[in-house]
Amino acid sequence: MNRIATLSSCFLLVLSASLWAAGSLDGELEKQSINPTAIIMFLAFVGATLGITYWAARRTKSTKDFYAAGGSISGFQNGLAIAGDYMSAASFLGISGLVFASGFDGLIYSIGFLVGWPIILFLLAERLRNLGKYTFADAVSYRLKPVPIRSLSACGTLAVVLLYLIAQMVGAGKLIQVLFGLEYFIAVIIVGILMIMYVTFGGMLATTWVQIIKAVLLLCGATFMAIMVMVKMDFSFERLFSTAIDIHSKGLDIMSPGGLVSDPVSAISLGMALIFGTAGLPHILMRFFTVPDAKEARKSVFYATGFIGYFYILTFIIGFGAIVYLVNNAQFIDPETGGIIGGNNMAAVHLSQAVGGEMFLGFISAVAFATILAVVSGLTLSGASAISHDLYASVIRKGEAKEGEEVKVSRIATVMLGIVAILLGIIFEKQNVAYMVGLAFAIAASVNFPILFLSMYWQQLTTRGAFVGGSIGLVTAVLCMILGPTIWVDILGNAEAIFPYKHPALFSITAAFIFIVLISKLDKSESAKNEAKAFEDQYVRSQTGLGAEGAVEH
């Protein structure tokens, strides 16, 4: 445990040095003066989570402890942890910022992000829990050949994890720069180091508790903010909305759908990416192995849906509250642009100051930081398990790896992923990363989801079909995204997009399903017959939980 002590003192050194350095203003973004509440709150969070990491490290002995917290998390705890994993800073700041900018349209995104959850519950959660062990690839390779299936799943996982990580790291760097007055690269390094510490030492148990604490803090903070908004409006939504309409430049238009979703193809494609992408996010699917059985897995989705839905309703109120309190308020307006300081994504942060003063601003800043830490930790753990459990143990060592060996590889992978995330975070500082989460969802929806879904529901699925079709889904999603308006036009500066739609999911998911089915049907090999035969056993196990991984007593 000395390593933790050494690392944490290193970390505190970095932090204090950077706080000191923050006195000189030389960054591009405008930095906030240091808010003592924010620093104290943040240090308290770091202290508490490192304490939990220490406690978790002592309990993390077996492979199962490391990957799945020993299967000992309750449905309620897991529901909170899922909410903590899913409610990223992007959804807190981004959606409230979207509501602030265009009103009703913000709600369209929140709803898309939420609706994936019932689908996961009805179709995937319990089967996944009953078939798998640590990663969703366990469930897919139950009857299919592990080497090709795990290689493909690991590619899908790592692509999603890295894209998501870059978006989070860049967001974290910028946010912390503004909130705490830290240099961008120092902020990215702090996030990277903390995340490496949580995951390498505390494994899934520490990651879960970081997510639970963060979810509780975020839900409390957002609730308080929404209540403060409504108190001043005498709890009348009519009054909130009419005040907002009076002062917003778009007037009455903020109450109805605007230009966010224009043509039907884009609308359906975005909807599919959000629903099936959520159902294919590896770090989310992994959370189902932390509960003891299918019963608790179901409960966790119920609680998660409740928390996430409640949270999105709050962001809607917060976004409208921000219109009421920030527009026309000289304190928060950037005189050069006429918009609010730091851009629309800072709406929730400024609102916290407007309704709760410096103290509450500090609290929300620290919560935003905690939010990023919790999300990147979950992502890193999931990426590391794809490397150690899927690639190393199954593909390279062909299932011969010893118990301790796999966890060791996983820890090394965590450190490597952490370093890669820090480097990518620094490289992408000045890049537009907004499309990356969208691309991550598209890949999750076009690779992970189709093979997972068909392996559970379609007896005729073969290894060849899943591998080829899944790869085609991956390539289609990436190509359409690169050739589409977001990257081809906005980033590469070409005049016209080769692929006309912003969201490729409708096409890439369809391509994946068509090729998986077609190639499985054409596959007349002996192994294909055996795989179809093995479906019966898989079916019984997935439905009854007989033979499924149980919980470990601590």
Partner 1 sequence: MQHLYKKIYANPEFHELEQKRGKFSWTLASITLVIYFSFILVIAFAPELFAKPIFSDSVITFGIPAGLSVIFLSFILTGIYVYRANKEFDQLSKDIIDQIKGDEV
Residue with smaller CB distance to partner 1, 114 or 160: 114
Alpha-carbon span 444 to 457, nearest angstrom:
18
Give how far Cα 504 sits from Cα of 269, 303, 407, 479, Å: 7, 31, 36, 9
Structure tokens at 158: 């790592």
Give the position of tokens 């402890």.
Answer: 65
Question: Rg of the Cα trace of the chain?
Answer: 23
Cα 35 → chain centroid = 28
Cβ atoms of 511 and 518 closer than 8 Å: no
Residue with smaller CB distance to partner 1, 46 or 101: 101
Least distance between partner 1 and beta carbon 104 (Å): 5
Least distance between partner 1 and beta carbon 554 (Å): 24
Least distance between partner 1 and beta carbon 8 (Å): 40
Alpha-carbon span 248 to 252, nearest angstrom:
8
Structure tokens at 397: 């060592």
How crowded is residue 238: how many other Cβ atoms within 10 Å of its Cβ?
Answer: 9
N-to-C CA span, the chain: 20
DSSP letter at 500 equals -
Residue with smaller CB distance to partner 1, 267 or 532: 267
Residue with smaller CB distance to partner 1, 289 or 316: 316
Residue with smaller CB distance to partner 1, 65 or 126: 126
Alpha-carbon span 115 to 28, nearest angstrom:
38
Residue with smaller CB distance to partner 1, 274 or 373: 274
Alpha-carbon span 61 to 258, nearest angstrom:
53
How crowded is residue 128: how many other Cβ atoms within 10 Å of its Cβ?
Answer: 24
The one-letter amino acid code at 179 reads L
Q: Residue 340 in 3-state DSSP?
A: strand
Least distance between partner 1 and beta carbon 68 (Å): 21
Residue with smaller CB distance to partner 1, 184 or 535: 535
Least distance between partner 1 and beta carbon 509 (Å): 14
Least distance between partner 1 and beta carbon 230 (Å): 15
Least distance between partner 1 and beta carbon 389 (Å): 22
Least distance between partner 1 and beta carbon 486 (Å): 19
Residue with smaller CB distance to partner 1, 80 or 270: 270
Residue with smaller CB distance to partner 1, 161 or 240: 240
Spatial neighbors of 487 by CB under 8 A, at least 6 apart, are 435, 481
Binding site for partner 1 (CB under 8 A): 104, 107-108, 110-112, 114-115, 117-119, 121-123, 126, 237-238, 241-242, 245, 252, 255-257, 261-264, 266-268, 270-271, 275, 294-295, 298-299, 301-302, 305-306, 309, 312-313, 536-537, 539-541, 543-544, 546-547
Alpha-carbon span 357 to 50, nearest angstrom:
29
Residue with smaller CB distance to partner 1, 257 or 356: 257
Least distance between partner 1 and beta carbon 255 (Å): 5
Least distance between partner 1 and beta carbon 121 (Å): 5
Spatial neighbors of 182 by CB under 8 A, at least 6 apart, are 18, 19, 22, 176, 190
Give the position of tokens 């359409």.
Answer: 480
Least distance between partner 1 and beta carbon 346 (Å): 24
Least distance between partner 1 and beta carbon 254 (Å): 10
Cβ atoms of 80 and 307 closer than 8 Å: yes
DSSP string of 259-319, one letter each residue? SSS-SHHHHHHHHHHHHHHHTT-HHHHGGGGGSSSHHHHHHHHHHHHHHHHHHHHHHHHHH
Alpha-carbon span 174 to 98, nearest angstrom:
18
DSSP string of 77-117, one letter each residue? HHHHHHHHHHS-HIIIIIHHHHHHHHTTHHHHHHHHHHHHH
Residue with smaller CB distance to partner 1, 124 or 381: 124
Residue with smaller CB distance to partner 1, 99 or 401: 99
